[in-house]
Amino acid sequence: MLDKSEKIFVAGHRGMVGNALVRRLESQGFSNLLVRARSKLDLRDESAVAKVFADEKPAVVVLAAAKVGGIKANNDYPVEFLLENLRIQNNVIRSAYENGARKLLFLGSSCIYPKLAPQPIPETALLSGPLEPTNEAYAIAKIAGIKLCQAYAREHGANFISVMPTNLYGPNDNFDLETSHVLAALLRKAHEAKTQNDSELIVWGSGKTRREFLHVDDLASACALLLEQYDSPEIINVGFGEDISIRELAELICDVVAFDGELTWDKNKPDGTPRKLLDVTKLRALGWKPSIPLREGIARTYEWFLANYAR
């Protein structure tokens, strides 16, 4: 169990996931949250991270900080995705252990699984086949983080857990078309097509690939539960439990945004993994299920986009 007064360090509190976690924990009455802006603490800097942990001694650590991006960014900058994520993870996980943190939650990603994993993907699929080449660098960094947490558990008995979320969306998402993920990119493209009175919206790939999407507030509720109830070094998936084709997603987004032009598919662009649906049997057994349907979540995200990004 978590004590409401325990010091909880949320690394990456300004990102989509970290921000949702801070909101969730505050709403549950956790009053001693430790956060540091990037300007005050560069998590890639080993000595700076070690000093903050030595000074603050957080009891619980949530590692939600990472260099993230969509297919294009992952494909274009593999060195940065590998090096920066390894540095962040190694520094935070090591300092958490060395300064007596009693629990750490490491946020991985569903891209750790093989490109052609069985569907829905069980946790046991990890390292059972080749990765999707377009985001291999990011996936390998995340796998290294999982293995480091498991190594601390095995060698030192550390209660370091690793959580694998599916594709996320929601407030504070990244809507930059060069680096964003598919849902945020489509939402922005549909909004711009509507405001410019365009007759068509060009979408990457064939539209046939299938993806699962989880609102980030649902992930935050799952993480809060796992911090309280889950103490195994074995990885655990967090997903919605259903998937949708990219074509269906694009149509749904156009409907929410009220863009009534045509969808045009650029089949010269990559599709990525054919299907990616997580097996959430382990998490459901703990009594958790998502509460935000996809259409409602997209509508909420569009409201946030209009208020915060579309200026």
Q: Rounded to an integer, what distance in angstroms lies between the CA atom of residue 214 and that of residue 280? A: 12
User: Confidence band (pLDDT; 50, 70, 90) for 274?
Assistant: confident
User: Confidence band (pLDDT; 50, 70, 90) for 113?
Assistant: very high
Question: What number does CATH give the domain 8-173+213-242+276-293?
Answer: 3.40.50.720
Q: pLDDT digit string (tens) for 209-219? A: 999 999 999 99
Predicted pLDDT at 269:
87
User: Confidence band (pLDDT; 50, 70, 90) for 175?
Assistant: very high
Predicted pLDDT at 33:
97
This prediction has a pTM of: 0.95
Which residue in the list 77, 97, 113, 138 is annotated as catalytic?
138
Q: For the sheet with 275-276, list strands across it.
A: 244-245, 210-211, 275-276
For the chain, give every domain's residue range. Answer: 8-173+213-242+276-293
Whether 138 is catalytic? yes
Average pLDDT of the segment spanning 243-264: 97
